[in-house]
Amino acid sequence: MATREARRPGLRLGIDLGGTKLLAGVVDAGGEVLGTGKLKTPFGGGAADLAAVLVAAADAALAGAERGREDVSAVGVAAPGVVDVERGVLLRANNLAVKSFSFPKALAKAFPGAGVSVENDVRLAALAEARLGAGRGARSVVAVWVGTGVGGAVLLDGELWTGRNRNAGEIGQVLVDRRDARPGEPDGTLESVAGKNAIARFVARRVERGEASVLAKAVTRKDARLSGKELAAAFAGGDGPACKAVERSAKAVGMTMASVFALLSPDLFVLGGGVAEALGAPYLAEVRKWARAFAFSTELGSIQVAPAALGDHAGLLGAALLASS
């Protein structure tokens, strides 16, 4: 039987709250992940449900690291959507039912005395990639995360640039289709075209029109939650609606990167997120193709797009970096 080692103060707990899954990790001062815990995100649940899953995932990570709650000195949370970082509150997220959710309040009982810091999930994943992963050494990085939705982040000289409203970098909210765009609504945005939920809706519409697809049940059932694995298998198998949806997503992402390149000309775009990682090299190649096709003024420097390197650990590592600061 394994025995617990002597208590090690200063451990950080990083929590990555995604639209589909919640991943927690215990991280030491050297950036090593000692243990992780993964649970499904309570998509339609309330504040109490989310708080319970946060603590349960944290406990699972601590068990894997053979540590206890008392060993955690600080907690960092990577949260989707619009975040009030001063109060540690998730104001809203398109893929979660909760609003004005306080992480310090939710974690206070389980981790009394531990500071709780919160930031947007993609910004923290980008921070980890910039310092530890694909963007290491680049002065300016723009991250594009294609997952359940689409998020983004901007890093200038190694630091997150959050702008006046502290939410700069939300590339998923960039308008790509003026025909569908409506003030205050997500229609017409990059997220409404390129994210996994958008892909599922696109495939569902094709199925309703009579097109055959191996994803028919996955996208039309009442509790439809298309997985990245299901999408990748359908795409690799040449499924018509799936291929059209993926190509549509990649084109929209590539065109948006080209627009950002015209504005900022970053050293590197880092492409990550559950959809991008599940689809792998073919999706990356398609995004690169469209980004380069639409990029402006590349004579002195071409647009560079690299895949994220830290995988599932990017968000929790970024959250741990936040907690460390």
Q: Look at residue 158 in the predicted model and tell me its pLDDT.
A: 79
Task: Check whether 1 has a pLDDT greater than 70.
Answer: no
Domain co-membership, 90 together with 176: no
- Which amino acid is located at 119 in the chain? E
Q: Is 131 part of a structural domain of the chain?
A: no
Domain co-membership, 51 together with 114: yes
| Other beta carbons within 10 Å of 90 | 25
Q: CA-CA distances (angstroms) from residue 181 to 63, 177, 187, 192, 203? A: 47, 6, 5, 10, 21
Domain co-membership, 120 together with 244: no
Write out pLDDT tens, residues 286-300: 999 999 999 998 877
Domain co-membership, 168 together with 295: yes
The residues, any chain, with a CB within 8 Å of residue 244's CB and separated by 6 or more, are: 202, 206
Domain co-membership, 167 together with 273: yes
Task: Check whether 37 has a pLDDT greater than 60.
Answer: yes
| Other beta carbons within 10 Å of 294 | 17
Over residues 203-230, mean pLDDT: 90
**In the chain, helix, strand, coil percent, each to 5?**
40, 20, 40
Give the predicted TM-score (pTM) of the model: 0.82
The residue range of the domain holding 47 is 11-124+313-324
Domain co-membership, 173 together with 140: yes
Domain co-membership, 303 together with 317: no
Write out pLDDT tens, residues 56-104: 999 999 999 999 999 999 999 999 878 899 999 999 887 788 999 999 9
Domain co-membership, 142 together with 264: yes
Task: Check whether 47 has a pLDDT greater than 90.
Answer: yes
Over residues 166-195, mean pLDDT: 84
Q: Is 176 part of a structural domain of the chain?
A: yes
Q: Look at residue 70 in the predicted model and tell me its pLDDT.
A: 95
Domain co-membership, 21 together with 152: no
